[in-house]
Amino acid sequence: MNDDLKALIRTIPDFPKPGIMFRDITTLLLDAKGFATSIERMAAATHGPVDLIAGIEARGFLFAAALAAPLGAGVLLIRKDGKLPGVTIAEDYALEYGTDRIAIHADAMAPGQRVLLVDDLIATGGTARAAVRLLRKAGAVVEQAQFLVDLPDLGGAAALRADGIAVDSLVAFEGH
């Protein structure tokens, strides 16, 4: 379906550790037509109007900003805790070993705003699920998420769907 875009994503075996097949989107980002096409297709897959595009640090920022113009929406940054000035609200989530925390500005949105969650890749879904919880805690209506790449074997998209999120991705790669 999106084989043209999939061909622009480089696979680097055994990075960052043996057995991992790293899906490197920097090669797609370097291709102006490929990046523009990915944004056009993500915008076309968006269901209904959205007020804000929430991008997850850091590559999600690129897709959120690029999608904002064609969708007529603002950009909301979801950052690692401690990176935003001012008052924030945050959400913890589990990592393989320990926990991490993401945050948004407490005044970044009004309750009831429709938010599209965007990131470059969905793997286990830990960060994306935490982002949905955080946005909903702030009063957002979050019903959809978009990713350039899905790694379905890791279950993140399925977990988001179980949380009531419509998940779209342009390409999928088997394995991890």
pLDDT tens digit string along 24-75?
999 999 999 999 999 999 999 999 999 999 999 999 999 999 999 999 999 9
Torsion 25-64-170-110 (CA) sign: positive
For the cut 90, the answer to whether the pLDDT of residue 132 exceeds it is: yes
Strand 166-172 relative to strand 141-150, pairing:
parallel
Q: Scanning the structure block, which residue is given the tokens 């913890």?
A: 92
User: Which pLDDT score is estimated for 83?
Assistant: 97
pTM for this prediction? 0.96
Active site residues: 59, 96
How far is Cα 161 from Cα 163, in angstroms, rounded to an integer? 5
| Confidence band of 98 (pLDDT split at 50, 70, 90) | confident
Percentage above 90 pLDDT, the chain: 95
Question: Cα separations (Å) of 162 from 132, 158, 173?
Answer: 12, 6, 21
